[in-house]
């Protein structure tokens, strides 16, 4: 008689073509922010085919806007539904949330794509297209894991709650809405593109904006003015110093293979309005990483104090302090204890399916996982197919065999975590 593990392996082999077509359909829907509805319709149809109870709603902006963890640049979530599908267990077992986001980042410069970003082309064992790796391939892996257990007639004790959420790329409003709606469980898996590494710890991050003042003057007598651009170089130097200091204090072995565990990135600079004028204002926007051991508040304070210290070395900045503000997206850090049963079960199932020991690391970027940790104190692990080396890049793709392996591992994890009910 075949074991459950063997049955799942055979199931995934037989259903691989179905999984590919499902991923293609999802990729072919351009589900950037405010345009998630059509992709969610495919998710809803799939969950109905599986036989799950489905909850569909548009998050309430008024309800969410007062929450301290809410961030969004949108005015409302009209036509952008969250989808949660539940398979109720027989009772007496541990429950799990399988959380994936349906939104994708824009495709960028079309000239850098070899094919249409939304054609879902299959080539050389890969599915190409925007969102294939981040993270529609991970979502398909979740759905295939649930399908395998259902179709094989395996009844579990614990509940499985599948979540297809909006707005992860903009700070997690979709997952926050699901939490506020009352969804909770004993553990969470988020199949972001980790290249099959297991992330027990997730970095958080925040966006910041810095305004640097100068004094306008004619370029021919620039010595009568003060260049905000030149002052900006002092700010950049100070930020680099802060980055070096923060990272020198990181000793967690899960960060050992990451060259800069907690990066500070300046992604946008604007300043000046005329070649022959001294620029009197420079605006910089960036992103700062928040370690699993840190709070958003502490990191805000650290950056603020670093910028205030510029007043000690520059008289102009003492008279005209730089202005720091926090805006846009933020992701809360999170972590699970390395001896937690849930983590150990994932490790053992990874090894059982692949024949190899898993690699454990801390994530170099933020996810929705921190919200489950911060708000529900739920053990959360990020683990999935795909890699960030192609996520958000032109010619994004996911390896089909990796997606199916992830589905197999997660299906086995569900059986162990939720437990098989007596017939």
Catalytic residue among 107, 159, 167, 168: 168
In DSSP notation, 4-66 reads HHHHHHHHHHHTHHHHHHHHHHHHTS--BTT--HHHHHHHHHHHHHHT-EEEEE---HHHHTT
Q: Specify which residues 219 forms β-bridges with.
A: none
Q: Rounded to 5 degrees, what angle do the CA atoms 146, 151, 152 make?
A: 100
DSSP state of 124: T
Catalytic residue among 29, 103, 134, 361: 103
d(CA 276, CA 153): 75
298 flagged as catalytic: no
339 flagged as catalytic: no
d(CA 313, CA 256): 34
Q: Rounded to 5 degrees, what angle do the CA atoms 219, 223, 226 make?
A: 85
Pairing of strands 53-57, 360-362: unpaired
Cβ atoms of 175 and 165 closer than 8 Å:
yes
Per the listing, tokens 């926050």 go with 176
Other C-beta atoms lying within 10 Å of the C-beta of residue 51: 12
Q: What are phi and psi of 126, to 5 degrees?
A: -135, 150
Catalytic residue set: 103, 168
């Amino acid at each position: 008689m075949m074991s459950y593990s063997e049955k799942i392996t055979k199931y995934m082999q037989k259903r691989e073509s179905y999984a590919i077509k499902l991923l293609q359909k999802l990729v072919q829907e351009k589900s950037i922010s405010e345009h998630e509805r059509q992709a969610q319709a495919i998710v809803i149809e799939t969950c109905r085919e599986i036989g799950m109870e489905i909850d569909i709603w548009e998050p309430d902006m008024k309800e969410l806007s007062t929450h301290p963890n809410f961030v969004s640049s949108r005015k409302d979530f009209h036509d952008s539904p969250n989808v949660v599908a539940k398979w109720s267990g027989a009772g007496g077992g541990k429950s799990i949330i399988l959380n994936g986001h349906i939104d994708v980042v824009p495709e960028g410069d079309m000239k850098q794509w070899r094919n249409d970003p939304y054609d879902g082309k299959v080539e050389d064992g890969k599915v190409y297209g925007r969102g294939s790796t981040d993270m529609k391939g991970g979502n398909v892996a979740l759905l295939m894991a649930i399908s395998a257990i259902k179709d094989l007639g395996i009844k579990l004790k614990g509940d499985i709650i599948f979540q297809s959420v909006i707005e992860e790329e903009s700070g997690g409003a979709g997952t926050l809405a699901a939490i506020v709606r009352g969804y909770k469980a004993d553990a969470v898996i988020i199949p972001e593109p980790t290249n099959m590494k297991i992330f027990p710890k997730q970095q958080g991050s925040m966006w910041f904006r810095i305004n640097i003042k100068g004094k306008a003057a004619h370029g021919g007598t620039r010595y009568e003015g003060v260049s905000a651009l030149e002052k900006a170089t002092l700010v950049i130097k100070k930020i680099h110093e802060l980055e070096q200091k923060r990272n020198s204090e990181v000793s967690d072995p899960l960060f050992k293979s990451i060259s800069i565990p907690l990066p500070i990135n300046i992604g946008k600079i604007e300043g000046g309005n005329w070649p022959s004028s001294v620029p009197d204002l420079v605006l910089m926007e960036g992103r700062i990483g928040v370690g699993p051991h840190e709070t958003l508040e502490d990191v805000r304070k650290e950056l603020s104090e670093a910028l205030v210290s510029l007043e000690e070395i520059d008289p102009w900045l003492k008279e005209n302090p730089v202005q720091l503000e926090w805006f846009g997206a933020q992701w809360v850090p999170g972590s699970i204890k390395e001896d937690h049963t849930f983590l150990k079960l994932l490790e053992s199932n990874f090894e059982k399916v692949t024949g190899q020991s898993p690699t454990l690391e801390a994530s170099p970027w933020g996810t929705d996982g921190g919200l489950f940790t911060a708000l529900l104190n739920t053990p959360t692990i990020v683990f999935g197919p795909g890699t960030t080396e192609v996520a958000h890049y032109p010619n994004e793709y996911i390896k089909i065999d990796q997606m199916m392996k992830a589905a197999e591992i997660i299906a086995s994890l569900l059986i162990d975590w939720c437990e098989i009910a007596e017939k």
